[in-house]
Structure 1
Amino acid sequence: MIRCRQFYLGYPNSATVSHLLTWSHWIELLKIDDVLERSFYEQQTLLERWSVRELIQQKESALFLRLAASKDKAGVLQLATQGQQIEQPADLLRKPYIFEFLKIPEPYQIAETQLETLLCDHLQPFLLELGKGFTFVGRQYRITLNNRHYKVDLVFYHRILRCFVLIDLKINEVQHQDIGQVNMYFGYFAQEENIEGDNPPIGIILSRNKDELLIEYATYQMNSQLFVQKYQLYLPNQEDLRRELELTLREGTENASQSAKTLLDENDDT
């Protein structure tokens, strides 16, 4: 009865409510107090046709807060009202990626090959974490240049952006040679694997830690579709993420107020 009353108060015009969502979906959505956050999960559930279990998993991984962390106020509001729209390579990124579903006990000691194996063994939740549009192509994808063999950790194809997505896994900090290697993979896939209609490949290096300054210099004037992103093996601190979001929304309001004041002052001067 409590949820029914909450649903009635939150959605008084029931004609506008999507009937593609089950009552179990709505129960999970109504547990979210923040209106923006609830709206995002509602839109994203419709866009990606999440099951109730998938919706719960994405809520627990703080997907909305992670996506909002890299956006300004306008971006956050768009995210809440439209869900995550995939229009360019940067739209694929999450900050950070969460691999809690692997259930690796703390303190963890794991090799890169073990992490890769675990992700492939848990492909369904891994694809859910990557987001809409990813299709799995292969692991340890071999490429050969002048009789030398190289292997890309994980290869996906993104059916919305129509391009290959190359993922390189690192358990240690990313080094400049790692970036150069992925850039070489770009060239190979663009020349040897792409077919008519394919767009240039995207590269994502996933690491536990990254040196921002090193990456800035190592990628200087390099392919803009190469990204270095962090991953976590455990759930993020949602309160820290929520404080970041509140700061973004507050700064956005202050900037809008300052812009309006500047405009009024300019009008007064004229």
Structure 2
Amino acid sequence: MIINQSIITDIKNIIVQSKEKAIRAVDHQRTLMYWHIGKRIFEEEQEGKERADYGTYLIKLLSEQLQPEFGSGFSPRQLERYRQFYRVFPIASALRTQLSWTQYKLLLSVDNEEQRDFYIAETIKNNWTSRQLERQIYSNLYERLLVSNDKENVLSVAKNEKFPSDAKEIIKDPMYLEFLGLKRETSYYEKDLENAIITHLQEFLLELGNGFSFVARQKRIHIEGDEFFADLVFYNRLLQCFVIIEIKTHKLTHQDIGQLQMYVNYYDRMEKLPHETPTIGILLCADKNDAVVKFTLPENQKQIIASQYKLYLPTEQQLLEEVNKELESFEEK
């Protein structure tokens, strides 16, 4: 007897989906349990707030009573975290079932409410794993997007309240490529960097931002008998356009900008469909002079973007200094 193979596939999918839903449901109940514990601790602490160090005493006492029976999840440090969880997210009905407890723990490290709203929206929209959310927080995605955007715009795009109308609304400068595993002290050929990006394509798409899909590498372009090769070609469904990335392991030159401009012009005239928007070109470079970029390109152009890449995540102090410098520069313009 021949059995339709689709029934086996369908049932396997039902089992996998049901298991995933069950895991999410259990995790959400755990999250709610921690929230209610935090709320109860906070309420009791408020009752005795006139007594010095009552909060510390209460946490210590609760841990001594709970930990022997219920395990390390009720250590003083964890109980303090549950209390903090309630204070940061004081409305239980606002807790998102799409977020796991691990993700909420990561969000507790984000002090600014607008930043938390941004990361929550992006996590849900992009179905980020806990590891992906952690990387985006520690690479300061929110601050990097603020370099060329205002807070309202960044949040609106994250929450799907508006579609990005400008590539700079989703493309970051600098881009952090620490996941490539390349040592920053070593010199690399452009081909080495390109190969590493292809090997780690999923992580690179995450760093690129929302809506990107891979199209081609070393895309051959024929122009009147001459051949040229664009390093990487992507498509962005939000912007509805092709995105060409040229990799430069040296300091950016005006010749590099001219080369990418030619590729962008070719795609606009030969590949772009009538309903699509103009092609975007990204020069991913080791170093750049913003003045050279500014004077090489026409004023107010939006199709060519120079983004510096870094092979390591910065320290918090380094990033704050860099972001503040960029913001000051942006405000002066």
Same fold (TM over 0.5): yes
- 2:310 paired residue number: 232
- 2:48 paired residue number: none
- Taking the aligned partners of 1:248 and 1:205, their CA distance within structure 2 comes to 18
- Taking the aligned partners of 1:243 and 1:150, their CA distance within structure 2 comes to 39
How has the CA–CA distance of structure 1 residues 161 and 82 changed in structure 2, closer, same or farther, with 3 Å as cutoff?
A: closer
1:144 aligned to 2:219?
Answer: no
- Taking the aligned partners of 1:104 and 1:244, their CA distance within structure 2 comes to 22
Letter in 1 for 2:221: I
- Taking the aligned partners of 1:154 and 1:248, their CA distance within structure 2 comes to 27
- 1:92 paired residue number: 170
Between structures 1 and 2, the one with greater helix share: 2
- 2:69 paired residue number: none
How far 1:248 moved relative to its partner? 9.4
1:28 aligned to 2:106?
Answer: yes
Whether the 8 Å CA contact 1:135–1:156 is kept in 2: the answer is yes
- Taking the aligned partners of 1:7 and 1:223, their CA distance within structure 2 comes to 45
Find the partner of 1:112 among 183, 190, 194: 190
- 1:121 paired residue number: 199
- Taking the aligned partners of 1:221 and 1:234, their CA distance within structure 2 comes to 33
| Structure 1: stretches of 5+ with no match in the other structure | 251-270
Deviations 1:199-229 (A, max 9, x none): 1100010111112222221113484311111
SS at match of 2:250: coil
1:178 aligned to 2:256?
Answer: yes
Letter in 1 for 2:256: D
SS at match of 1:104: coil
Deviations 1:76-134 (A, max 9, x none): 35535763763322212212100011111241221101000000100000000001100
SS at match of 2:244: strand
| Structure 2: stretches of 5+ with no match in the other structure | 1-78, 329-333
State which drifts further: 208-217 or 121-130.
Answer: 208-217
Letter in 2 for 1:79: V
- 1:55 paired residue number: 133
Letter in 1 for 2:151: V
Whether the 8 Å CA contact 1:158–1:165 is kept in 2: the answer is yes
Find the partner of 1:45 among 120, 123, 126: 123
- Taking the aligned partners of 1:167 and 1:39, their CA distance within structure 2 comes to 30
Deviations 1:17-75 (A, max 9, x none): 2221111211111122333332321222122221111101112212122122334xxx1
1:76 aligned to 2:154?
Answer: no
Whether the 8 Å CA contact 1:142–1:149 is kept in 2: the answer is yes
- 1:203 paired residue number: 281
The higher-RCO structure (CA 8 Å, 6+ apart) is 1
- Per the normalisation by structure 1, the TM-score is 0.83
CA RMSD for the aligned pairs? 2.4
How has the CA–CA distance of structure 1 residues 13 and 246 changed in structure 2, closer, same or farther, with 3 Å as cutoff?
A: farther
- Taking the aligned partners of 2:271 and 2:326, their CA distance within structure 1 comes to 41
Q: How many residues align?
A: 247
How has the CA–CA distance of structure 1 residues 5 and 168 changed in structure 2, closer, same or farther, with 3 Å as cutoff?
A: same
- Taking the aligned partners of 1:171 and 1:248, their CA distance within structure 2 comes to 22
Find the partner of 1:188 among 256, 262, 266: 266
Higher-Rg member (1/2): 2
- Taking the aligned partners of 2:81 and 2:133, their CA distance within structure 1 comes to 18
- Per the normalisation by structure 2, the TM-score is 0.68
- Taking the aligned partners of 1:4 and 1:82, their CA distance within structure 2 comes to 31
Whether the 8 Å CA contact 2:166–2:302 is kept in 1: the answer is no
